[in-house]
C-alpha cells in the first residue's frame, strides 16, 4: 500500500498522489456497488481481477494506437497512471439493447443495433449521474464541441477494437462506459475497463458475465470475473 496523499475516494478505486507530480496511483478495491451505491458488498478478490482485466484491455488498446493514462502496474491491484483533467462524463456505447436503454424505451433486451449508440451522462453521485446531451455539455462548459466530437470518434474506434478482442474470448460486447481526460490539448482514455463497466454475454448461452450478476443476484461476482480473466488470458496464448 501507499502512504501517499489520498486524492480521491471512489466506489471501486482510490486515487493517490504518486511520487512524480504528473502521475497518480489507482488502487482497486474489493468493494462492489450497484444502483449508485445503494447496494454495496465486499467481494474479496474483485480488485485484483479488475486490475488484471483492465490491464489486458488497456495494453491491447495501446498496442492498437489508443492513447491511455496507463503507465504501468505496480502490484496486482495498483496501477500508476498519468494525472489528467478528467471530464465529468460517463460515455456509454451500446451495441446490443440492454440495461437502462431497454427499460427507458420499453424495448426487448438482446437486439443487435444497426449502429452503435453513444450516450453521455454527467458524473455526479449527488444528481445520480443524469443523462446529458451535447448542447448541455457545451452550455455547462464541460467540454467544447471539438472535444465532444473527438471523444465520440475515439469511443467508436475503441468499440471497433474491443468487439473482436472480446469475441476471441467468446463474449458479445453488449455495452460499456468509458471516461476520458485531458493532458494539455490531448484527450486520452482514463479510468478502467472491466466487467464493472461493461456488459459481456457468453456468445452461446447469452449468460451475463459482468456486474449484472451482482445487480441481479444471478451468480457469484468474483467467480464470474475470474472466468472472464481466464478466457481473455487463454485467447492470448
Which residues form the interface with ligand 5GP (CB under 6 A)? 90, 92, 98-101, 129, 175-177, 196-199, 211
Nearest residue (CB) to ligand 5GP, 24 versus 120: 120
Nearest residue (CB) to ligand 5GP, 20 versus 136: 136
Least distance (Å) from ligand 5GP to the CB of residue 185? 27
Least distance (Å) from ligand 5GP to the CB of residue 33? 9
Nearest residue (CB) to ligand 5GP, 148 versus 214: 214
Nearest residue (CB) to ligand 5GP, 17 versus 86: 86
Q: Which residue has the cell 511520487?
A: 19
Q: Cα separation of 113 and 125, whole Å?
A: 29
Contact assessment for residue 79 and residue 52, using Cβ atoms and an 8 Å cutoff: no
Least distance (Å) from ligand 5GP to the CB of residue 90? 5
Length of the chain: 237
Least distance (Å) from ligand 5GP to the CB of residue 198? 5
When CB distances to ligand 5GP are compared, the closest residue is 99
Least distance (Å) from ligand 5GP to the CB of residue 86? 14
Angle between helix 46-63 and 221-236 (nearest 10): 30
CB-CB neighbours of 48 under 10 Å: 19
Q: What nine digits make up the cell of 160?
A: 471497433
Q: Cα separation of 54 and 31, whole Å?
A: 16
Contact assessment for residue 221 and residue 194, using Cβ atoms and an 8 Å cutoff: no
Nearest residue (CB) to ligand 5GP, 110 versus 234: 110
Residues contacting residue 21 through CB under 8 Å, at least 6 positions apart: 83
Amino acid at each position: 500500500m501507499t502512504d501517499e496523499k489520498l486524492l480521491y475516494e471512489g466506489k471501486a478505486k482510490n486515487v493517490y498522489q504518486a511520487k512524480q507530480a504528473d502521475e497518480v496511483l489507482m488502487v482497486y478495491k474489493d468493494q462492489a456497488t450497484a444502483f449508485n451505491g445503494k447496494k454495496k458488498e465486499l467481494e474479496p478478490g474483485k480488485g485484483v481481477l479488475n486490475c488484471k482485466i483492465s490491464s489486458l484491455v488497456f495494453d491491447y488498446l495501446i498496442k492498437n494506437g489508443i492513447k491511455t493514462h496507463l503507465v504501468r502496474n505496480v502490484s496486482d491491484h495498483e496501477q500508476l497512471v498519468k494525472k489528467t483533467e478528467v471530464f465529468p462524463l460517463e460515455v456509454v456505447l451500446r451495441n446490443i439493447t440492454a440495461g437502462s436503454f431497454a427499460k427507458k424505451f420499453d424495448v426487448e433486451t438482446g437486439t443487435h443495433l444497426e449502429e452503435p449508440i453513444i450516450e453521455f451522462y454527467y458524473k455526479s453521485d449527488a444528481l445520480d449521474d443524469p443523462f446529458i446531451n451535447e448542447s448541455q455539455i457545451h452550455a455547462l462548459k464541460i467540454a467544447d464541441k471539438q472535444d465532444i466530437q473527438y471523444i465520440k470518434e475515439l469511443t467508436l474506434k475503441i468499440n471497433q477494437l474491443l468487439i473482436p478482442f472480446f469475441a476471441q474470448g467468446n463474449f458479445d460486447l453488449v455495452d460499456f462506459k468509458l471516461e476520458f481526460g485531458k493532458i494539455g490539448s490531448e484527450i486520452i482514455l482514463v479510468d478502467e475497463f472491466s466487467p464493472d463497466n461493461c456488459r459481456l454475454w457468453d456468445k452461446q448461452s447469452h449468460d451475463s458475465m459482468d456486474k449484472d450478476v451482482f445487480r441481479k443476484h444471478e451468480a457469484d461476482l468474483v467467480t464470474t470475473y475470474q472466468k472472464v480473466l481466464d478466457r481473455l488470458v487463454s485467447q492470448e496464448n
